[in-house]
């Protein structure tokens, strides 16, 4: 029998939420790792019972947990994230150089083909990989050693590598995104990298069209069309159809083109979703209305999806890793808020209902489609 498993990381632990394919009745398990920040929880697409979780606190640092039974039980695995070689400097907020220093894992991306291989995007920005199920981690140092790295600077949330896109059609291709350096692309499994920010325009940096320095919040891809990527930038929703060689803006009629997550419909590669937020200085939904916007045209033309979502006095945020979409025939969309609600739609966004209302602030949402 098919169903879904929603993996939620929050400010005070992780939750595992399951349902059958109707996605009406939900079973909530957790909190796991109570009291810890859980930035991300994600399962292997190869072995759905294997799930990785990144938990941390300022007191005790970073822990990686692994489950082999779909999130029922967990065991800590390796947590040594040591930069390879000389760490070098990046820019600090005041323009002075500052050495790279590991702070936490923001994002875990399990391999599309091997359950023992998993990537970790960390702050200060770097990409790590484990080939033994998370026991040992090695940096792919060429990214941090890129010639532009001394010019990278943290965004308000820290200098984090928050997005990792793997591509089954191009096994050696990796896209990553860093706030606030931008998108980088490797065609050789991480041995070399180059910026992929042509066409981005950011008013808040000295050269608005710079090669690096853009505050990219999220990029998303449909596996059947890997040369097309969609981006929610700090401001602007963007699109590339040439694998990141150039980007064009597709914000169109959105009420605000600021936001964090972006998703692609699993069966319609040109249907995308964003959740507009009023501005970078306010971080609340426009007009107190929590609205998901859907474009069936790959951007530019957007419709508001409001049925079941609060349309007054709603002032929560939705963070960059806090949305996900399942692959059932009528796809389910999920997102979590800083107010602790997790909303779900079982009809591609036409109607919504909360799964749970009172979790700690939600950092991340992932979903597994179980068949």
Give me the residues that bind other proteins (CB under 8 A), please. 35-36, 57-63, 76, 79-80, 82
Report the nearest approach of other proteins to the CB of residue 84 (Å): 12
Of residues 64 and 174, the one with the C-beta less far from other proteins: 64
Report the nearest approach of other proteins to the CB of residue 60 (Å): 4
CA distance 297 to 135: 43
Question: Cβ distance 2 to 370 under 8 Å?
Answer: yes
Report the nearest approach of other proteins to the CB of residue 163 (Å): 25
Of residues 63 and 183, the one with the C-beta less far from other proteins: 63
Report the nearest approach of other proteins to the CB of residue 256 (Å): 31
Residue 61 token pair? 């640092």
Q: Name the burial class of residue 156, with classes exposed (0-12), middle (13-18) and buried (19+) by CB atoms within 10 angstroms of its CB.
A: exposed
Question: Can you tell me whether residue 191 is helix, strand or coil?
Answer: coil
Question: Cβ distance 34 to 12 under 8 Å?
Answer: yes
Report the nearest approach of other proteins to the CB of residue 16 (Å): 18
Question: Can you tell me whether residue 287 is helix, strand or coil?
Answer: helix
Report the nearest approach of other proteins to the CB of residue 82 (Å): 5
Report the nearest approach of other proteins to the CB of residue 75 (Å): 8
CA distance 325 to 274: 12
Chain-centroid distance of CA 186 in Å reads: 18
Instruction: Render 8-46 in DSSP notation, one character per residue.
Output: EEETTEEEEEEEETT--S-EEEEEESTTSEEEEEEE-SS
Of residues 58 and 206, the one with the C-beta less far from other proteins: 58
CA distance 359 to 11: 9
Of residues 62 and 180, the one with the C-beta less far from other proteins: 62
H/E element, 51: strand 51-57
Alpha-carbon distances of 183 from 161, 198, 218, 256, rounded to whole Å: 10, 10, 9, 22
Of residues 58 and 95, the one with the C-beta less far from other proteins: 58
Chain-centroid distance of CA 230 in Å reads: 13
Of residues 65 and 111, the one with the C-beta less far from other proteins: 65
Torsion sign across C-alpha atoms 200, 206, 211, 217: negative
CA distance 176 to 119: 11
Of residues 35 and 288, the one with the C-beta less far from other proteins: 35
Of residues 76 and 288, the one with the C-beta less far from other proteins: 76
Of residues 81 and 302, the one with the C-beta less far from other proteins: 81
Report the nearest approach of other proteins to the CB of residue 36 (Å): 7
Report the nearest approach of other proteins to the CB of residue 191 (Å): 24
CA distance 179 to 277: 18
């Amino acid at each position: 029998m098919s169903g879904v498993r929603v993996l939620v990381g929050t400010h005070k632990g992780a939750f595992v939420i399951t349902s059958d394919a109707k996605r009406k009745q939900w079973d909530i398990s957790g909190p796991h790792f109570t009291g810890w920040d859980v930035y991300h929880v994600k399962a292997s697409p190869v072995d759905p019972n294997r799930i990785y979780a990144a938990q941390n606190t300022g007191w005790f640092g970073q822990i990686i947990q692994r489950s082999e039974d779909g999130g029922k039980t967990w065991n800590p695995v390796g947590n040594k994230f040591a930069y390879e070689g000389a760490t070098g400097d990046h820019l600090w907020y005041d323009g002075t150089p500052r050495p790279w220093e590991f702070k936490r894992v923001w994002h875990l991306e399990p391999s599309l083909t091997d359950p023992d291989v998993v990537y970790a995007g960390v702050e200060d920005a770097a990409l790590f990989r484990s080939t033994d199920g998370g026991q040992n981690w090695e940096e792919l140092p060429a990214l941090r050693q890129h010639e532009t790295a001394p010019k990278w600077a943290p965004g308000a949330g820290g200098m984090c590598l928050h997005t990792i896109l793997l591509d089954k059609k191009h096994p050696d291709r990796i896209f990553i995104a860093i706030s606030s350096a931008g998108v980088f692309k490797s065609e050789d499994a991480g041995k070399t990298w180059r910026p992929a920010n042509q066409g981005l325009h950011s008013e808040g940096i000295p050269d608005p069209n710079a090669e690096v320095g853009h505050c990219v919040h999220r990029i998303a891809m449909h596996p059947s069309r890997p040369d097309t990527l969609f981006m929610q930038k700090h401001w602007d929703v963007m699109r590339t159809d040439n694998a990141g060689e150039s980007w064009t803006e597709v914000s169109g009629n959105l009420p605000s083109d600021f936001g964090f997550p972006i998703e692609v419909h699993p069966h319609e590669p040109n249907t995308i979703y964003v959740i507009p937020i009023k501005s970078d200085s306010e971080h609340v939904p426009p007009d107190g209305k929590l609205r998901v916007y859907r474009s069936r045209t790959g951007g530019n033309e957007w419709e508001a999806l409001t049925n079941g979502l609060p349309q007054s006095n709603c002032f929560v945020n939705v963070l960059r890793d806090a949305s996900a979409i399942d692959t059932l025939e009528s796809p389910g969309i999920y997102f979590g808020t800083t107010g602790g609600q997790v909303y779900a739609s079982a009809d591609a966004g036409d109607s919504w209902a909360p799964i749970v209302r009172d979790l700690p602030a939600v950092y991340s949402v992932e979903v597994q489609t179980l068949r």
